[in-house]
Every structure is written in C-alpha cells, then in structure tokens.
Amino acid sequence: MNADGYFTNKNGFIYLDADYAEVYIPKYYFDNNKFAEDFGTKVSTIGLLVVGFGKNGVITEKKILNLPTLIELFITDYEDRNVEIKEGEFEKCKVLIYNKGNKIMNDNLTENSENVGTFLDLVLAGKIPDIIPYDKSIGIWLKNQSMNNVNFGVSPLIEELILSVAYRYKNDISKKFAEVIGKDPNVSLFDYKMSSIREICQYTSTFAGLTFEDFNGMATTALNRSAKHEVETPSPLEVLFKL
C-alpha cells in the first residue's frame, strides 16, 4: 500500500494523514491470542489487513496493508462488527477507527525470529486471509522471513509446494487450486479456499482423514464423500497397508 496521502511519519511514529480510516482485524486472528492480541491501548497483530479510507465515517476505498509480520497498532477507538472485506463476503472483525492526525503505529518494525514461527503457524493453520491473490502468496511468505532476517535454508520451491497443497479450489476443496488455475487461466486468483493440513486430509482421503484424532468428524465426511461418489486422493500409507 502506497503511504502517500494516507499516512505520515513524524517523531518515530506513523500518523493518519487521510481524513478517516478503519483497520479490519479478523476475529479469528485473536483465537487463543495466536495471530493477534489485545493489550487495551495497543493491538499486536499480523499485518496482513484490509484498511478502509473515507471521510466523515464513510468508507470510499479499501487497500491492503502488506506487512506480513507482527505489528503493534495503537487503539484510539474500536468496535466489533461484520465487515464486507470482499464484495458479497463478510468477516467478523475488530475494527480500529482513526481520524486524521491519530497515531497508528511505530515507524520501525522489530526483527524477531518468533514472527517467522507465527507466520508459519498461519500457513499451516490455513489462516492466511483471502485478500491475497494466489500468485502473491509465496512472495508474502518470503517477505515475512526477510523482514525478520530469517532463512529456512530450503529452496523457495519447497515453500511453494506447501502453499500449493494448502490452497484449494473453493468450489471443490478436494482439488488443488494450482491445478485448477493451471488448466484454466481464466479462473480468478481469488477462487480459492485455504485449508489447514487437517482439513486437507479430511476432504481428500478417507484413510488419511481417519488417522486424525477427530474420528467422528472424519467418518461423517468420508460417508458423505462415498455417497456422492467423489474421487479420492489415495494415501501412500494406504497402499502399504494393502500389501
């Protein structure tokens, strides 16, 4: 997001330069204080957020804050409400409200390897917000590592492989989104649903799903898939058990 006309830097802090702004923090970020935490006067949160700008309390445009690491936002005023993050799609959010001249955050970010671990948890939990086009996801993950001076020591191809498994086609999550868009480039880069490793097992393979701890949920999903005659992805372990 270009800061010109939106924010200004002064005395070590970032201030709002626009007339009015709202920062939308998804409520699920706060689950178990894993990706966001409210400290009363500040909120610590992963900085992948939608920010709305406008005038007199009316939002006229929305931008993406692309800071894929933990940041601290000052709380001036806030409210909890459902927000239309994308057209026709609403998300329960903690909405931070700012007026022109309000202090937003410090103008520097602290390098911390724990921020890389937190973002990795975000990936594995399938919680990267769907405001990011699919082809930008690997760049954002690498940016998180760069901002915190951490390198996993593996080829980015490995990280791309992890993401390609986690991103599913939203109309049929048994399919990898990468495969769908590879066959049809006219598919929108936002036509995905990110899933956790647990969900991927549940919806792609009965055998793999049943090896997870929630047997009842996995069995119900397996029965529904069988009734609909859906194609399954075989588990390598399943082949070994059949020998």
pLDDT tens-digit series, residues 72-82? 999 999 999 99
| Entry pTM | 0.81
pLDDT band at residue 243, thresholds of 50, 70 and 90? very low
Is pLDDT at 13 greater than 70 in this prediction?
yes
Q: What is the pLDDT of residue 219?
A: 42
Q: How many CB atoms lie within 10 A of CB 101?
A: 9
pLDDT band at residue 181, thresholds of 50, 70 and 90? very high
Is pLDDT at 105 greater than 90 in this prediction?
yes
Is pLDDT at 139 greater than 50 in this prediction?
yes
Identify which has the larger pLDDT, 53 or 233: 53
Beta bridge partners of 91: 83
Is pLDDT at 1 greater than 90 in this prediction?
no
Rg, Å, the chain Cα set: 20
pLDDT band at residue 230, thresholds of 50, 70 and 90? low
Percent of the chain topping pLDDT 70: 81
For the chain, the helix, strand and coil percentages under 3-state DSSP, each to the nearest 5:
35, 35, 30
Domain extent listing, the chain: 7-106, 113-241
- 227: Cβ–Cβ under 8 A, 6 or more apart, which residues? none
pLDDT band at residue 203, thresholds of 50, 70 and 90? low
Which residue's structure tokens are 């793999």?
A: 208
Q: What is the pLDDT of residue 238?
A: 45
Q: What is the pLDDT of residue 33?
A: 87
**Alpha carbons 68 and 116: distance in angstroms, whole number:** 9
Report DSSP letters for 131-189, one per residue. Answer: TS-GGGHHHHHHHHHHHTT---SS-HHHHHHHHHHHEEETTEEEEEHHHHHHH-TTS-T
pLDDT band at residue 205, thresholds of 50, 70 and 90? low
Is pLDDT at 172 greater than 60 in this prediction?
yes
